[in-house]
């Protein structure tokens, strides 16, 4: 018996929103989030019970984000960070660090940015990321490694990345 779809939204909604925000500005991220769950709702009855729901949703979100980007070609990333624990703490220095990290992420090549978003915000494996990006697992690992390397080189608070790796 499948889990009620409302529970799927509750369990995975924030993850999908974080992924959308990593790829789009806030308004378009909200649109992509909504479109993701509308599409998922239609397809959910046919989803195998043993499917990885989070990976399935992130795949849909990726496609919806691409659709949003194709509608117009503005900036891929936004100044608003996905909700992270540091930002939720309310400390001004945490917000400054978040903004600086976001700027460093914006400077990454798209593939590196996508892999880091799917890996660290979406919680996907490199194999799942490779499927979404239509590449190999090795290429996804390499893009992730290069992304972390670039962040370490260009972000002045790079020691925090040691916690991610």
Q: What is the pLDDT of residue 94?
A: 45
Q: What is the pLDDT of residue 136?
A: 93
Q: What is the pLDDT of residue 72?
A: 62
Mean pLDDT in each 10-residue stretch from start to end of the chain (165 residues)?
90 90 84 94 92 92 84 47 43 51 78 87 87 90 91 67 52
pTM score, whole prediction: 0.61
Q: What is the pLDDT of residue 23?
A: 81
Query: Would you give the distance in Å from CA 66 to the centre of its chain?
Result: 13
């Amino acid at each position: 018996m499948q889990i009620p779809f409302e529970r799927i939204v509750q369990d995975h909604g924030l993850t999908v929103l974080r992924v959308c925000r990593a790829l789009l500005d806030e308004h378009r991220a909200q649109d992509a989030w909504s479109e993701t769950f509308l599409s998922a709702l239609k397809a959910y009855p046919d989803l195998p019970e043993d499917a990885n729901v989070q990976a399935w949703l992130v795949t849909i979100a990726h496609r919806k984000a691409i659709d949003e980007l194709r509608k117009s070609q503005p900036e891929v990333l936004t100044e608003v960070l996905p909700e992270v624990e540091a930002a939720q703490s309310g400390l001004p220095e945490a917000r400054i660090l978040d903004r600086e990290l976001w700027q460093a992420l914006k400077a990454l090549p798209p593939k590196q940015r996508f892999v880091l978003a799917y890996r660290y915000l979406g919680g996907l494996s490199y194999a799942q990321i490779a499927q979404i990006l239509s590449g190999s697992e090795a290429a996804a690992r390499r893009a992730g490694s290069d992304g972390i390397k670039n962040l370490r080189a260009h972000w002045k608070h790079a020691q925090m990345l040691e916690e991610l790796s």
